[in-house]
């Protein structure tokens, strides 16, 4: 079995390590942070993602930290009128065999890290910044804190500013989308009792939208608030946000949204500019490839960014499972994944426009909402990353 080096200990890197170890490979993961954690934010894990996590035996620890919403709901920004609704809960589990879960990003990282640390085939290096990577015909290597490590395969799961991607394909310029996002976590106890139903809620408004859902067993509400804005382009998940600015951006919205933005606090509100990167025509060269945001960073308008990274890990492991030509196996992995991840990238980009329509266009959008949603969700949720390499 191969010795595999993974740069990046986030959701994609840790999932890939577990999938590869399950196939019998030895894996070393390098994470530059001294403690693996991610600033508080929520994730929506649809059945295509939970299928992989359950395959790794993580259903019990996931159940201990997640929240299972009963519906997705889209509402009108001012009146609160229900525009569209889709059943989740037991309906989704019965249809696809796996649940739809909301989870705090840090909680999912914790579940994955504990599983990685209990797997003898995986060595997790934390506080190890990777400064250089290279490959020859028979070996890949990296340098982390002046120490060299060798392997047979190297995977860049090092996020949107990937060192590995730049080595393979050169620097890439990102494009500002004209959208700025706020995120915040609100303890449920700070909100009026019964304010929110157990749903993943999306509110459409002119030039902006608002998302909310429960995480951490229902103890917290995760909010993502996106506004079209120019002149502010800080791309950082840890940039503090101004509660007064957020409240002004959603002035006049429904009382439910007023309650949520009214609970914003300076120490738990963050703001970042949304940048877009086009789908990449290639992910792999020789013994090196990319995974997750390193190759397909996705705008947060389909709630599939983490799911795509999780799927990547399963397909990658399946493609290298049988040994053989490493370069060909990595090319096959990229070929199997590019169409799906590109579709998610482009669909998320389209949603950035659709969510923010106004006037007659918004009225037409609202009338059409839900009519094609079931078929779109079916194709999204039924994808089986465990078997994709067998079927592709």
Residue numbers annotated as active site? 213
Helix (H, G, I), strand (E, B) or coil at 101: strand
Q: In whole angstroms, what separates CA 315 from the centre of its chain?
A: 16
Q: For residues 100 and 210, what is the distance between their CA atoms, to the nearest angstrom?
A: 20
Cβ atoms of residues 17 and 120 within 8 Å: no
Cβ atoms of residues 298 and 305 within 8 Å: yes
For β-strands 71-76 and 199-205, DSSP reports them as parallel
Q: In whole angstroms, what separates CA 263 from the centre of its chain?
A: 25
CB contact burial 146-167 (16+ within 10 A = b; e otherwise): eeebebbbbbbbbbeebbbbeb
The phi, psi pair for 103, rounded to 5°, reads -145, 145
CA angle 211, 160, 299 (to 5 degrees): 30
Alpha helices per DSSP H over 105-242: 105-117, 163-169
């Amino acid at each position: 079995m191969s010795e595999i080096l993974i740069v990046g200990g986030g959701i994609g890197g840790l999932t890939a390590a577990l999938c590869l170890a399950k196939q019998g490979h030895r894996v070393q993961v390098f994470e530059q942070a001294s403690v693996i954690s991610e600033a508080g934010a929520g994730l929506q894990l649809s059945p295509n993602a939970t299928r992989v996590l359950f395959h790794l035996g993580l259903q019990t620890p996931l159940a201990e930290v997640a929240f299972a919403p009963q519906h997705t709901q889209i509402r009108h920004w001012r009146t609160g009128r229900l525009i569209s609704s889709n059943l989740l809960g037991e309906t989704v589990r019965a249809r696809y065999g796996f649940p739809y879960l909301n989870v705090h990003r840090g909680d999912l990282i914790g579940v994955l890290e504990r599983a990685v640390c209990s797997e003898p085939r995986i060595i997790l290096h934390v506080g190890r910044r990777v400064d250089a990577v290279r490959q020859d015909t028979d070996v890949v290597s990296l340098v982390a804190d002046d120490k060299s490590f060798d392997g047979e395969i190297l995977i860049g799961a090092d996020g949107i500013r990937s060192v590995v991607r730049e080595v393979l394909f050169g620097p890439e310029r990102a494009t500002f989308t004209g959208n700025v996002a706020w995120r915040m976590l609100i303890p449920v106890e700070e909100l009026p009792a019964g304010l929110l139903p157990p749903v993943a809620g999306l509110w459409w408004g002119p030039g902006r939208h608002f998302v909310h859902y429960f995480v951490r067993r229902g103890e917290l509400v995760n909010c993502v608030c996106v506004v079209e804005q120019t002149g502010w382009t800080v791309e950082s998940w840890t940039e503090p946000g101004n509660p007064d600015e957020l409240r002004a951006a959603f002035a006049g919205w429904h009382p439910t949204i007023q309650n949520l933005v009214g609970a914003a606090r300076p120490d738990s509100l963050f703001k970042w500019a949304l940048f877009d990167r086009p789908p990449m025509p290639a992910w792999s060269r020789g013994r090196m490839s990319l995974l997750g945001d390193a190759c397909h960073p996705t705008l947060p308008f389909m709630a599939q960014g983490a799911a795509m990274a999780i799927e990547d890990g399963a397909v990658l492991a399946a493609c290298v499972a049988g040994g053989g030509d490493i370069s060909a196996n990595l090319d096959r992995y990229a070929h199997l994944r590019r169409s799906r991840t590109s579709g998610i990238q482009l669909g998320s980009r389209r949603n950035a426009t659709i969510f923010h329509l106004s006037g007659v266009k918004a009225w037409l959008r609202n009338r059409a909402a839900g009519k094609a949603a079931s078929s779109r969700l079916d194709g999204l949720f039924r994808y089986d990353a465990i078997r994709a390499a067998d079927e592709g």
